[in-house]
Structure 1
Amino acid sequence: MNETTIATIERCAQASKDGTAHFGAIVQALTGAGVEAYFADYRSNATTYYLPSGETHAVALPPPPAMPIAGAFDAAGIQAAIRGAQRGEVMYPEFLTLSRAAGCVGYMVWLAGRHVSYFGRRGEVHVERFPDAP
């Protein structure tokens, strides 16, 4: 992976952690850098970014909140956090807390496919299409 792509990934990860960039801006920058997908794994506290070439780059997630990931998956809770983020009311640090409280153990952002898959600890999946996706 070239240094420019790594720098873009690191910049986007930091802006997310700081709560200074919205999801749409992150998606645009990562797509422009050639990233096709990324996986945020709450249990290992890392996000791994994937390029079509098979190259990957991992970045640490912010430290988890004091509360553990809820045992039950609450798709409505995930959707509420997503809608808050879409309205610009919920930035990433709060999204992490809300989604963990809803039993989410991680999510896969499919930039090329224009959707996100959110996972529960028993294999539950909630798929959310990007607002502009067909």
Structure 2
Amino acid sequence: MQTHIRQVIQNTFDASNEGSIHFGQVVGQLLAVHVESYHVDYRAGRSTYYLPDGTTLDLPFPVADETMADAFDAAAVRAAIQGAQQGQVMYPEFKRLSQRAGCIGYTVWLTGRHVSYHGRRGETHVERFPD
């Protein structure tokens, strides 16, 4: 992976986890370096970024202190998403809200323009990017 691409991904990851950029900025910055998708695994504490040539980059983050809810509450996940889309909820709070809603992780399909959120028993909520 080129150093420039790695640095853009790392800087985007850091800024998002600090709550200093919103999801739209994350999408724009990652698409600019041709990231196709990325997967966030709350249980393992890592985000994996995928490039078209098969290259990946794993970045660790601290696992939450509080336990993720056992039951997947799609309505609560949608509410967290809506807050993020409106700029009222930044990523650190989004992580807490989605974990409380039973989300164990998600995959952002940048080129497919949607996100798949996952529960412990394979439940899935798919959220399309707004136009």
TM-score by length of 2: 0.98
In structure 1, the residue matched to 2:22 is: 22
RMSD: 0.7
The 3-state SS of whatever aligns with 2:67 is coil
Q: Is residue 89 of structure 1 aligned with residue 74 of structure 2? A: no
CA deviations over 1:78-97 (Å, ceiling 9, x no partner): 00000000111100000000
In structure 2, the residue matched to 1:122 is: 121
In structure 2, the residue matched to 1:8 is: 8
Identical positions, percent: 54
- Name the amino acid aligned to 2:83: G
Q: CA deviation at 1:113?
A: 0.1
Q: CA deviation at 1:66?
A: 2.5
CA distance in 1, matches of 2:34, 2:66: 35
In structure 1, the residue matched to 2:31 is: 31
Q: CA deviation at 1:60?
A: 1.3
In structure 2, the residue matched to 1:111 is: 110
CA distance in 2, matches of 1:112, 1:44: 25
Q: Is residue 80 of structure 1 aligned with residue 109 of structure 2? A: no
- Name the amino acid aligned to 2:12: C
Q: Using a 3 Å threshold, how does the CA distance of structure 1 residues 68 and 96 change in structure 2: closer, same or farther?
A: same
What are structure 2's unaligned runs of at least 5 residues?
none
In structure 1, the residue matched to 2:63 is: 64
Q: Is residue 55 of structure 1 aligned with residue 20 of structure 2? A: no
Q: CA deviation at 1:34?
A: 0.8
Q: Structure 1 runs of 4+ off > 3 angstroms? A: none
CA distance in 2, matches of 1:120, 1:52: 27
What are structure 1's unaligned runs of at least 5 residues?
none
